[in-house]
Amino acid sequence: MGKLGKTGRVGEVSETNKQFNVNYELMGNYLYTIAIDEYQEDDFTNLNNAKIDSERFKSILVSKYGFEVIENSIVDKEATRNNIIEGLNLIAGQINDDDTLIIFYAGHGEMHSITEKGYWIPSDATKRISDYIPNSTVIELIEAIQSKHTLLISDSCFSGTLLHQSRSGPEGKFFQKLAEIPSRWILASGRKEKVSDGIKGNGSPFCNAICEFLENHEDEYIPASELFNFTLKETAQKAKQQAVYGIIVSPAHEDGMIVFHNQIKQNKTRISLGLRDLTVSLTTGIEMKQLGFIQESLFAYYRDGELQVVKPNTTEINKICSAFNAQELHELIPEMIEIDTNTHIVAHRRGYDQLTEEDVEKYSYAEVTMQKTGGNITPYMAICRCNGRMVAFSVNGDGKYNNLITFGENQAEALAKMIIALKYERKID
């Protein structure tokens, strides 16, 4: 396949951010995806959401951030061991040193029980380790790609084995500096652990977090570190796994970072009537609908051509889901949430205390409160407390408590996420 064509991506620089004037005409943004739901052998169960996640991620990057999809991206039976390796190898001849490349993998992963080395599992693999693709092979193929920036996103079990060590993003650099300096980063859905594929048709918790951030973020320029941090926090809240990120140890990494350029103009905003600051996000609204929250709301999300808009809830035509506001959500949360001897509350010096029968009789119930966080992306949080201390009703697979604390860019979003968490804890019918 020949050289990829270039398309201009010039964005006006806002008055408040004139220091960031990277010339997007000289930079190409490309996405390569590998998504495997259907495995050819019975040795591996089929997955639910790899293709759905890939398509959603692709749609956001193309429509909002000016990315182009590389033609030989592959799915299901096409994603054989040979095709994956050849596909990654071909990219090296298609990408220039001014380009940005994101590689997205969704499929099974494995880890060697002794060496703890990780592998991608292609669609034609059996249980023979020779059928797998070692992390070392993936990294070597990526190192051969002479891009300005490469970001590998891996949504698979044991994907944290791709990292030598996790680390925070570069600090103290303006957007322009980050974008100009070459970088190689990995964002992985978990550590050395199995990860959730999610309910069929709903997307994986990891990819949902990525897409929610990119869909809802309205700044013109967005450093990838903000995406990383949001994804780590949001994935941990929704699933029993801890997403991680770090650098690919390579001479090509010079501590820069992808800076996403939001190309949707202000006059094409997805939300009408200025209601976005008052209601839940589209992603959260859909999740609430899927969980059975179909109560009436003042506003709803509707399809309007290629956009999704919030407007008064007056018809079922083109309606996607309810757009609950904070007052409506308060009414869905019980004033008194049942506690029992399986309830744990934070003890400031001892971690957590499990309630005794005397405690249950004394405290009677837990309740949800709201407060501000001081953050920019998620300035509000909802907390479930008992006797003024944060509550946990269950423990995850790592033995850590599922803290009932949720964050949102407005009060409605934080409350909706708390309702979802309480639903999973069976504290709301």
Helix (H, G, I), strand (E, B) or coil at 424: helix
Residue with more model confidence, 345 or 140:
140
Burial of 397 (0-12, 13-18, 19+ CB in 10 A): exposed
**DSSP letter string, 311-340:** EE---STTEEEE--BHHHHHTTS-SSEE--
Rg (C-alpha) for the chain, rounded Å, is 23
Confidence at residue 3, expressed as pLDDT on a 0 to 100 scale: 31
What structural domains does the chain harbor?
15-261 (3.40.50.1460), 269-324 (no CATH), 337-424 (no CATH)
Contacts of 250 (CB under 8 A, 6+ apart): 139, 143, 184
Spatial CA neighbour of 376 closest among 409, 418, 412? 409
pLDDT category, 12, cuts 50, 70, 90? very low
Confidence at residue 32, expressed as pLDDT on a 0 to 100 scale: 94
Residue with more model confidence, 299 or 11:
299
Confidence at residue 152, expressed as pLDDT on a 0 to 100 scale: 95
User: What is the rounded distance in angstroms from the CA atom of residue 189 to the CA atom of residue 193?
Assistant: 9
Q: Choose from 103-117, 157-171, 190-204 the range with maximum mean pLDDT.
A: 103-117
Which pTM was predicted? 0.57
User: What is the rounded distance in angstroms from the CA atom of residue 113 to the CA atom of residue 44?
Assistant: 17
Residue with more model confidence, 163 or 265:
163
For tokens 């079922």, the residue is 316
Confidence at residue 100, expressed as pLDDT on a 0 to 100 scale: 94
Residue with more model confidence, 10 or 295:
295
What's the gap between Cα 298 and its chain centre? Answer: 29
Helices (H), 181-321: 205-216, 224-238, 282-290
User: What is the rounded distance in angstroms from the CA atom of residue 84 to the CA atom of residue 102?
Assistant: 15
- Region 348-357: mean pLDDT is 74
- Among 167-181, 280-294, 402-416, the least confident range: 167-181
User: What is the rounded distance in angstroms from the CA atom of residue 285 to the CA atom of residue 294?
Assistant: 10
Judge contact between 229 and 376, C-beta under 8 A.
Answer: no
Confidence at residue 198, expressed as pLDDT on a 0 to 100 scale: 81
Phi, psi (5° rounding) for residue 375? -80, 165
Instruction: Extract the tokens encoding 336.
Output: 């008194």
Task: For CA atoms 348, 349, 351, 354, give the dihedral sign.
Answer: negative
Confidence at residue 164, expressed as pLDDT on a 0 to 100 scale: 60
Beta strands across the sheet bearing 319-322: 307-312, 299-304, 319-322
Residue 350 has pLDDT above 80, yes or no: no
Confidence at residue 414, expressed as pLDDT on a 0 to 100 scale: 92
Residue 13 has pLDDT above 60, yes or no: no
Residue with more model confidence, 171 or 164:
164
Residue 83 has pLDDT above 70, yes or no: yes
Which H, E and C letters describe 74-99, residue by residue?
Answer: EEHHHCCHHHHHHHHHHHCCCCCCCC
Confidence at residue 9, expressed as pLDDT on a 0 to 100 scale: 27
- Amino acid occupying residue 412: A
pLDDT category, 175, cuts 50, 70, 90? low
Instruction: Extract the tokens encoding 35.
Output: 């998504």
- pLDDT tens digits, residue range 60-71? 898 888 898 887
- pLDDT tens digits, residue range 246-288? 888 888 888 889 999 887 643 343 444 455 568 899 989 999 9
Confidence at residue 375, expressed as pLDDT on a 0 to 100 scale: 64
Confidence at residue 347, expressed as pLDDT on a 0 to 100 scale: 62
Phi and psi based region of residue 319 (left: phi greater than 0; alpha: psi -120 to 50; beta: remaining):
beta
User: What is the rounded distance in angstroms from the CA atom of residue 201 to the CA atom of residue 213?
Assistant: 19
Spatial CA neighbour of 244 closest among 202, 198, 185? 185
Residue 402 has pLDDT above 80, yes or no: yes
- Among 22-26, 117-121, 230-234, 299-303, the least confident range: 22-26
Contacts of 331 (CB under 8 A, 6+ apart): none
Give the helix/strand (H/E) hosting 384: strand 380-386
- pLDDT tens digits, residue range 213-238? 998 888 888 899 999 999 999 998 88
pLDDT category, 416, cuts 50, 70, 90? very high
User: What is the rounded distance in angstroms from the CA atom of residue 116 to the CA atom of residue 102?
Assistant: 26
Residue 15 has pLDDT above 90, yes or no: no
